[in-house]
Chain A
Amino acid sequence: MSIVTTHAALVAATRIKGPHIDWLALSPFVVLSVGALIVLLIGLLSSSTARRRVVPTLTLVTLGLAIGFEIARFRHSNLILSGALQIDDVALVLDLIFSVAAIAAVLLSWRGRAAEEAGHGEYHALLLFSVLGMTVLVSSTNIVTLFLGFELLSIPLYVLCASEARREVSLESGLKYLVIGSVGSATLAYGLALVYGATGSTDFSVIAAAVSKGGLFGGVLSDPMLLTGIALVMVGFAFKASVAPFHQWTPDVYEGAPTPITAFMATATKAAAIGVFLRFFDVAAIGAQNKWGPWLAALAAFTIIVGNVGALGQSSLKRMLAYSGIAQAGYMLSGVVVGTRLGIQATVFYLAAYLLINLAAFAVVVARERESPEGDDISGLAGLGATNPGLAWPLTIAMLALAGIPGTVGFIGKFYLIRALVAGDYTWLGIAIVIGSMISLGYYLRVVATIWMRRAPDVPADRAPGQVRTPTGPLPVIAGGSPEADAGLEASGRLGAGELEPGQIAQPEVAVVAIVCAGATIFFGIIPTPLFHLVTHAGQAFAGLF
C-alpha cells in the first residue's frame, strides 16, 4: 500500500483547485487581447501584403468577433474575476460603441499614412489594446481595475496620436496628450487614493455602502477626505472627457492627430470617459449625489457654453469638431448629473447617436484631406455640393444632426436628454442644453452654407474630383529613418498622386463609412426603436437607482 497510496495521496493533495473561470463572460476581453497580440506578430512579417492587407483585415475580424460575443452576453449580468469586473448590459452597450468606433478607425486608416509610418502591426495592435482598456474601464467595479483600464486606454492613444511621425503637428499632439493625460491620471490616482482612505475599501459596492450610511456627526459624507477625493476623481475624469475647464488640450490634440485616430478619440474615448462617470458617480458615489450633483451640473453647463462659443471662430473643420465634441460632452454629462435610470438611458442613447454622427463627419474629413491641399479648412469645402455630393450629403446630415434638427437621431437624443432632465428636476440644465444648441447653429450652419451656397474656386484641370492625392517630393527625414525605407515607399507607388479610372471611387471604404453612418443617422431619426431597445438594457443594469 505505502508507495502507491502515498503517491496517490500526494497527487491528490497537490492537485490545485483553480478558481472557476467564466470564459464566456470573459470572451470579449480574451478576443481583444489575443487579437492584438496576433496582429502585432503578423505585422512583423516582411511581406508587404501581409502588413497592408492581412493586418487590418485581422483587426476587423477581431473586432467583429468581439461584437458578436458582446451581443451574445446581453442579459447575462456577471461579476467575474473575483468581483473585479462587472459584465452588465451598460458595459456591453458601451463595448459595442467602442468596437464600432474602432472598426471605423481601421477602415478610415486603410489607405492612410499613419499606419504606414508607425508600422501596421504596431498601429493596429495599439488600437486594439486601447479598445481593451476601454472595455475594462467601463466594466470596472473596483478602484484598481478602474485605474488599470484608464491607463490601458490612454497610453496606446498617446502613441497613436504621434504616429504620423513626419508631421510636426502629429508629434506635438502626441506629446501634448501625453503630458496632459498624465496630469489627469495622476489627479485621478490621488483622488482614488483619498476615496480609499475615507471608505476603507477599493470595491465600489463597499464604497457605496459607506457613502450612503452617513451616520452620526455627519459621518463619512462630511468627511473632507472623501469630498476631496471625489472632487479629484471628477477632475481626473473631466480631463479625459474634455469637460471644461479641463478641455484645453482637446482642440490641439484633435487637430494634430491623424484623422482616423481623431475620429476614434472623439467617439470612443468620450464614450469611455462618460461611461466611467456613470459607473463611479451613479454607482459608487450615488449616496453623495446631493453633494456632487450641483458641482457636476455647473461643470456641464460651463462645458456647454465654452464648447459652443469656442467653435464659433474656427476655420479648421477638425478643430471645430473638437470644440463641438466638448459641447456634446457637456450635454452627455447632464444625463449623468440627474442620477436616475432615465438619465443613464438618455446618456447612453446620446452616446450611440453621437458615435454615428461623428463618424460620418470625420469620414468626410478624411476623404477631403486626401483629396485636396486645403485639407480640413472649412472654406475649402466651398461648392462641395455641386462637385462631390457623395461627401456633401453625409457632412450636411452630420452637421444638422449635431444641431438637433428633427428627422435625425440627434433630435431624438436631445429630446430624451431634456426629458430626463425635466423629470429629474434639472429643467434649468435642459434650457442650458437648448441655449447651447442655439449657439451651435452658428457654426454648423456655416459649414452647410459653405458646402451648398458658395461657388467652388476654379479647380486645376489636372486633378479630377475624388482623386486621391498624397504629397510628392522628398519627405523630411525623421530621426532614425533610413533613405532605403523612403526609397522603398516611393517605389511602391504609395507616395505618388494616384491615377483613377473614370467613375472609380477613390476610397470606397471611407465612402462606405460616411454613407452608412449618415444613413443610420436619418434612419434612427425616423425609427429610433432599435436604439431604444439597446439603451433600455443599459438602464436595467443599474439596480437600486430611482
Chain B
Amino acid sequence: MSLSILIWLPLVVGLVGLALPRARVGRWSALGSLVTLGIAISFLARFKTGHAGLQFTTDKVWISELGIHYKLGLDGLNVLLVVLTALLFSVSIGWSSQREWDRPQLFYFHLGLAESAVLGAFCAQDLALFVALFDLMLIPFYFLTGMWGSGDRVRATTKLVIYTLVGSFLMLVAAIATGVLASSEHGTSLTFVLSQLRALPLSHTSQEWIFLCFAAAFLVKMPLVPFHGWLPDAYKSMPPPVVAVFSGVLSKVAAYGFLRVVLPLFPFASVHYQTLMLLTALVSIIYATSLAFTTNDARLVVAYSSVAQLGFIVLGIFSLRPTGSQGALLQMVNHGLVTAPLFFIVAALAARAGGSEDLRAMGGIAVRAPALAALFLIVGLATLAIPGSSNFIGEFLILLGVFQSKLAVSVIAFLGVVGAAYYALRLYIRSMHNRVSPSVDSREISWREAIGVVPLVIVILVLALYPRFGLVRSERTVQETVAPAQLLAGSRPAAQALRDAGLSGFLVAGSIRSGATTGAGGTP
C-alpha cells in the first residue's frame, strides 16, 4: 500500500462528506478517520527497526521544470509522528461527532483537509513539497477557528495566520534559494529532493541567512518566545477539538522540520547559531512556565505549558547530540498525547463550572466525578513528567544531551522541570480539589466527553510502561541526522554512522574544530 493513500484519504473523506446530509456526515468522518488510523498503524507494524534509510517510498516527478518531486517516505523521524497525527485526529473527530455543529459538512471537510496536509508534511521528502504542505496546513485552521470558534475569533485567527505566514513566506524564499544555490554552486540540475540536497552543501554565508529564515518560520509556528504573540488569543478562540489537534500536532511539524531539514542541510549554521537557539528555548521554558503558573485561565495554562514543552524539545534538538534529539522526538510524541486530552478535560471542566474556563470559578469538581479525576490525574502527572512516565524519559534524555554540550543551559532548564510540577499541580488542585465552588455543578464524565481522553490515556500508560517503544525506531535515523552538525560542533560521532549516511566527506572536511576524527583519516 502506498503512502499516498494514507495521506490523501482524509481529504477524500472530507470531500465526500460535503455531499452528505448533516445527520450522517459526523459518523462518516469518524469512520474515515478510524480507517486512516488503521492504515497508519499498519505502516507502523510493517516498519523495519534498525534500518536507517527511508521506507515505503514514493518518488514521482511532480513539476520537472522546477525540479520538484512528489517524494514521500517513512523513517525513524516521522513514523511515530504520523501515527500520532492519525490518532489525535481520530479522537478529535470522534469527540466532534458527538456534538452538533453549524454547517457540519464544511467543518469536517476542513478537518479532513487539515489532516491530509499535516500527514503530507510529515511524509514529504522533497523540500518544496514540505514547504507547500507546511503553508497549506494553516488554512483549514483559519476557517475552523474563524467560523466555529468563540470570542473575538476573527481577529484571533487573522493574527494567527498572518504571524505564521510571515515566517513561512520567509521560509519559502529560503527553500527556493537552497535549491537554486545548491544546483548553481555544484553545477547540477535544479532539485529539491532532500536526499540529493544533503549531498550538495551550501556556502557558509548562504547557510546562515537561510537558517535564520527557516528558524523564523518554525519558531513562530511552535511558538517559542518571543514569537508567541498570537498564542493566547488563538488558543482561547478555537473550539476544543481544533485546539487539541493544533497544539498536539501542528507545533510538532515545526520541531520535526528542524530535524528533517535544518540540521542535515545546514550543519554549519546549526552549529553557528546553536547558542542562540538554546537561549531562545531556555527563555521560552522559563517565561512560559512562569506564565502558566500565574494565569487563571485553565486553557491558557495548558497553552503556556505547551510553549514550555516545545522549548524543551528545541533544547534537545539543538544540543546537537543524538541523545538530546532522541529525547526531543520522544517528547514530541508524549506532548501530543498529553496536550490533546488536557484540552478536552478543560472543556469538560468548563461544562461543569457554568461554562467558564476560569480557575477561580472552579473547585471541588472531583467530588462527584471520580473517573474524570482519575483520568485528569494521569494526564496531569504525565504533563509534569513524573518519574515513571514516558515524559520523564524524554525530558531526561533532553537534559542529558544538553548537559553534555552546554552545561549551564541545562542547569537553568531544570527550573523548568520544577515549574512544570507547580503549574500542573496548581491546575489540578484548583479545579478538582479544595472547596466546591458555588458555580460548579459536578457530574461524572460521560462517554461523549471521555472519547477525547480515554484512548490517549491508554496510550500514555502503554508508553509509560514501555518507553522503548517510542525510542527504538528512531535511533539509527537520529544518529545519521545529527551527525554532520555534531561533527562540526566538535563532539565525535561514530565514524560508522557518518559513513552509513554517505557523508564521509565530512570526515575529511569536518576536522575544523575537533582536530582528529576517529580514525577515518583522509579516506573518503
B65 near A532: Cβ-Cβ < 8 Å: yes
Chain A contact residues: over half helix, strand or loop, or mixed? Answer: helix
A529 with B135: CB separation less than 8 A: no
Interface-side segment among B73-81, B88-96, B168-176, B311-319 = B168-176
Residue of A nearest to B63 (CB): A528
Question: Which of B165, B166, B176 has a CB less than 8 Å from the CB of A430?
Answer: B176
> Contact at A442–B162, with CB atoms within 8 Å?
yes
Q: Does B184 contact A (CB under 8 A)?
A: yes
Interface stretch of the complex, out of A64-72, A237-245, A355-363, A415-423: A415-423
Q: Are B161 and A445 in contact (CB under 8 A)?
A: yes
The complex places the Cα of A406 from the Cα of B175 at a distance, in Å, of 14
Q: Does A375 contact B (CB under 8 A)?
A: no
Residue in A441, A528, A532 whose beta carbon sits within 8 Å of that of B161 in the complex:
A441
Mask, B135-177, CB within 8 Å of A = 1, is 1100100110011000001100110011001100110110011
Contact of B153 among A386, A411, A453 (CB under 8 A): A453
Q: Taking A406-B136, A418-B172, A449-B158 as contacts, is the C-beta distance between A438 and B177 under 8 angstroms?
A: no
A214 within 8 Å of B (CB atoms): no
Residue of A nearest to B169 (CB): A434
- In the complex, A532→B63 CA distance in Å? 9
Number of residue pairs spanning A and B whose beta carbons lie under 8 angstroms apart: 86
Residues A422 and B177 in contact in the complex (CB < 8 Å), given A407-B136, A453-B147? yes
Q: Are A452 and B173 in contact (CB under 8 A)?
A: no
- Interface readout for B79-103 with A: 1 if CB under 8 Å, 0 if not? 0000000000000000000000001
Chain A, range 432-455, C-beta contacts under 8 Å to B: 434-435, 437-438, 441-442, 445-446, 448-449, 452-454
A400/B139 in contact, CB under 8 A: yes
How distant is B92 from chain A, measured CB to nearest CB, in Å?
21
List A contacts of B31 (CB < 8 A).
none
Q: State whether the Cβ of A178 lies closer than 8 Å to any Cβ in chain B.
A: no
Residues of B within 8 A of A418 (CB): 172-173, 176
B200 at the interface (CB under 8 A from A): no
A400-B139, A453-B147, A453-B154 known; A430 vs B132 contact (CB < 8 Å): no
Give complex CA distance A410, B162 in Å. 18
- Minimum CB distance partner of A453 in chain B: B146
Task: Please report which residues of chain B, range 18-66, place their CB below 8 angstroms from some CB of chain A when the two chains form the complex.
Answer: 63-66
What is the bound-complex CA distance between A406 and B177, given in angstroms? 18
Q: Are A452 and B128 in contact (CB under 8 A)?
A: no
Closest to A424 in B: B180
User: Is the CB–CB distance between B184 and A423 below 8 Å?
Assistant: yes
Complexed CA–CA distance, A514 and B139 (Å): 22
Q: Which of B63, B162, B170 contacts A412 (CB 8 A)?
A: B63
Of the candidates B103, B165, B181, the one having the most CB atoms from chain A within 10 angstroms of its own CB is B165
Chain B residue contacts of A434, Cβ below 8 A: 169-170, 172-173
**B463 on the A face (CB < 8 A):** no
CA distance A405 to B128 in the complex (A): 13
**B503 CB-CB contact with A under 8 Å:** no
- Report the separation of the CA atoms of residues A422 and B181 in the bound assembly, to the nearest whole angstrom: 8
**The one of B65, B157, B180 that contacts A422, using a Cβ cutoff of 8 Å:** B180
Taking the nearest CB of chain B, how far is it from the CB of A119, in angstroms? 45
Report Cα–Cα, A453/B150, bound state, in Å: 11
Contact residues in A for B64 (Cβ distance below 8 Å): 529, 532
The CA-CA distance from A528 to B165 in the complex, in Å, is 23
Is B176 in contact with A438, judged by CB distance below 8 angstroms?
no
Q: Which residues of B contact A536 (CB under 8 A)?
A: 65
Number of residues from A at the complex interface, CB < 8 A: 35
List residues of chain B with CB within 8 A of the CB of A452: 143, 146-147
CA distance A437 to B63 in the complex (A): 23
With CB as the reference atom, state the residue of chain A lying closest to B65.
A532
Contact of B66 among A404, A416, A422, A449 (CB under 8 A): A416
List residues of chain A with CB within 8 A of the CB of B132: 406-407, 411
Question: Is B133 an interface position by the 8 A CB rule?
Answer: yes
Q: A445-B162, A449-B154 are in contact. Are A415 and B169 (CB under 8 A)?
A: no
Instruction: Digitize B186-230: 1 where CB-to-A-CB distance is under 8 Å, 0 elsewhere.
Output: 000010000000000000000000000000000000000000000
| Alpha-carbon distance between A45 and B176 when the two chains are bound, in angstroms | 58
Q: Which residue of A lies closest to B103 (CB)?
A: A386
The answer to whether A406 touches B173 (Cβ under 8 A) is no
A contact residues around B162 at 8 Å (CB): 438, 441-442, 445
Cα A337 to Cα B322 in complex, Å, equals: 47
Least Cβ distance of B202 to chain A in Å? 12
Instruction: Give Cα distance in the complex from A427 to B181, angstroms.
Output: 11
State the CA gap A449–B147 with chains docked (Å): 9
| Chain B residues positioned under 8 Å from A532 (CB to CB) | 63-65
Residues in A whose Cβ lies below 8 Å from that of B65: 416, 532, 536
A259-316 at interface with B (beta carbon < 8 Å): none
> A423 CA to B182 CA in the complex, in Å?
11
Q: Does A183 contact B (CB under 8 A)?
A: no
Q: How far is the CA of A448 from the CA of B142 in the complex (A)?
A: 10
| A206 at the binding interface (Cβ < 8 Å) | no
Mark interface residues in A511-536 (1 if CB within 8 Å of B CB, else 0): 00000000000000000110010001
Knowing A386-B103, A452-B143, A452-B146, the reply to whether A438 touches B66 (Cβ < 8 A) is no
CB proximity of A400 to chain B, nearest CB, Å: 7
Which residues of the partner chain A approach B158 to less than 8 Å between Cβ atoms? Answer: 445-446, 449
- The reply to whether the CB of A30 lies closer than 8 angstroms to some CB of chain B is no
Which residues 104-130 of B sit at the A interface, judged by CB distance below 8 A?
128
Whether A415 lies near B142 (C-beta < 8 A) is: no
Q: Is the CB of A438 within 8 A of B165?
A: yes
Mind listing 19 A-B residue pairs with CB under 8 Å?
A404-B169, A405-B135, A406-B131, A406-B133, A406-B136, A407-B136, A412-B66, A418-B172, A419-B176, A422-B181, A427-B173, A434-B169, A435-B169, A442-B162, A446-B158, A452-B147, A453-B147, A528-B63, A529-B63
Shortest Cβ-Cβ A-B pairs, 9 listed? A406-B132, A453-B146, A406-B136, A434-B169, A422-B180, A532-B65, A418-B176, A406-B135, A438-B166
A438-B165, A449-B146, A453-B147 given; 6 more Cβ-contact pairs under 8 Å: A422-B181, A423-B184, A438-B166, A442-B162, A453-B153, A532-B64
